[in-house]
Amino acid sequence: MGDKHPLTIFTDQDQAMSRAIEVALPHTRHRLCQWHIAKKVPSKVACFNSNNKVRGLFYKCMSKCDSEVEFERSWNEMILEGNLQTHEWLGDLYKIRSKWSTAFNKEYFSMGILSTQRSECTNNVCHGISKPTSSITECFLGLEKIITNWRRNEQDEDHKCSQSEIVPIIRSSSILKQAARFYSRKLYSFFEEEFLHGVGGMSIDFVSNDSSKFLVNYTENKDQSNPWVVHFDSTDCTIQCTCKKFETMGLLCCHSMRVLRQLDIVKIPEKYLMLRWSAKARKSFYSGYVGLGKGTDCGSGFIFRNHISRFAYQISTRAQGNELAEQYMLGAMKDMAENIDLLVEGKMTNSNFICKSKSRAAPVSAFKDPQKRRPKGISNARLKGYWEKKKQKKRPSIKSKNTLDKGIDIPSPEVYIPSMPECFTEDFINRRKTREEGSPYTPYTRMMMDSFTSELEF
């Protein structure tokens, strides 16, 4: 992981794994999966299913408490309600409350994850592609196919983010316009929901004299909830809320949105726009690489080469097809190679960097191509890219299954179909009804035979 410890790691209640994480990852916040804990509670606590209040208070202690004080109050109320003062399993769970309750992890970035279900789902996918009788080659090919589909879906979503514009629900809002240009499609939907909730569902109950402290609460049912405290520093546009949503999720909360609206701030401060959630996160990842400072370490050297090669590949892809851009890149690479040799030999310092790439660029020609005209019959619509083209399903053939197997075609509509016998026509029936007076009577059977005889004559 680039010699960097992860910020947060989720596991189940395995003692051996917990001790290993404390030794190997001392700077990582170890948290327990809430799904595993919630699954064990009904079998450990007898009154959990029968007492709705105990069940509601336990779930509140897991993820609905905004502070440690609120957690302690809700936990004690649950213990008294269910008469669980001597419950051994709950006592052990209370000792490690900092690992599973969100009230004790507001300062740690976790992207809103509460369980290890992502890992479990990945394991289920891997189990679904293999059977007890499958060989290792079949398992590998199945896994490779799934990974290809995942990458294709990621590329499709990345293409949608780069080629389409997000239309804010409030087109006159400057904050939503800024968020639509910066965030990806999925993250923008989260941000827009927080913005609308803050502007339409929150109210400010108290404002300090210097407008640095705000008490934000719901517009309805104010007596049933505690207000959130929002601090704002006008010198550097720093805003902090007691809900700690930005610290854990990386998005501004609805309470902060309400304060920004109250102060008539029309733009999100740059410090609260995380590159992780931007639509250009993949393109900007390698350009933001920072060296590890361990040139002799083999692992750090491999990471450095990996980042530089990917970054150079992205730049070459952008320049491909543009003659000036290609020549500029080649000149810059030559200058860079010369400067690196001088740096390695100690003949140049950081203050002596000279970029000669501008002088190497080819002069722009004064002659331009003639204006092009579109030929007749060519549509004016924009040509679709590779990721926009969808595979069309083939229409079923007219031939039936039996004829396909035997190689026999179905007769075409031009095949001769005999006409209807005269005895079934309306003219025949009318002639029988309107026979002349005095003419000999012709039996109906005779008329039928005459009609069939006339049809068979060649």
What percentage of the chain carries pLDDT values higher than 70?
A: 69
Write out pLDDT tens, residues 85-97: 889 999 999 999 9
How many alpha carbons lie under 13 Å from residue 395 in its C-beta half-sphere? 3
Torsion of CA 127, 131, 132, 134, to 10 degrees: -120
Write out pLDDT tens, residues 423-448: 555 555 555 555 544 555 556 566 66
Predicted confidence band of residue 190 (pLDDT cuts 50, 70, 90): very high
Predicted confidence band of residue 159 (pLDDT cuts 50, 70, 90): confident
Write out pLDDT tens, residues 209-257: 888 999 999 888 777 678 889 999 988 889 999 888 998 888 999 999 9
Report how far residue 214's alpha carbon sits from residue 222's, in angstroms, rounded to the nearest whole number.
Answer: 15
Number of domains in the chain: 4
Q: Which residues make beta-bridge pairs with 229?
A: 215
Q: Which two tokens stand for residue 28?
A: 């990582």
| Greater pLDDT, 451 or 402 | 451
Write out pLDDT tens, residues 354-381: 444 444 444 555 556 677 676 777 777 7
Co-location of 262 and 290 in the same domain:
no
Residue ending a domain, among 302, 332, 360, is 360
Co-location of 320 and 239 in the same domain:
no
Predicted confidence band of residue 272 (pLDDT cuts 50, 70, 90): very high
Q: Give residue 97's domain range.
A: 8-115
CA gyration radius, the chain: 38
Decide: 193 and 170 in contact? Cβ < 8 Å: no
Report how far residue 161's alpha carbon sits from residue 277's, in angstroms, rounded to the nearest whole number.
Answer: 12
How many alpha carbons lie under 13 Å from residue 57 in its C-beta half-sphere? 19
Q: What is the 8-class DSSP label of residue 26? A: T
Co-location of 218 and 158 in the same domain:
no
Answer yes or no: is 444 within a domain.
no
- Which range (61-65, 104-108, 301-305, 337-341) has the least confidence? 301-305
Answer yes or no: is 54 within a domain.
yes
Report how far residue 293's alpha carbon sits from residue 148's, in angstroms, rounded to the nearest whole number.
Answer: 35
Predicted confidence band of residue 415 (pLDDT cuts 50, 70, 90): very low
Co-location of 40 and 86 in the same domain:
yes
Decide: 454 and 422 in contact? Cβ < 8 Å: yes
Give the pLDDT confidence score for residue 367 in this predicted structure. Answer: 59
Answer yes or no: is 374 within a domain.
no
Average pLDDT value for residue range 93-113: 87
Could you tell me what percentage of the chain is helix, strand and coil, using 3-state DSSP and rounding each to the nearest 5?
50, 5, 40
Give the pLDDT confidence score for residue 345 in this predicted structure. Answer: 76
Burial 88-115 (b: 16+ CB within 10 A, else e): eebeebeeebebbbbbbbbeebbeeebb
Decide: 259 and 175 in contact? Cβ < 8 Å: no
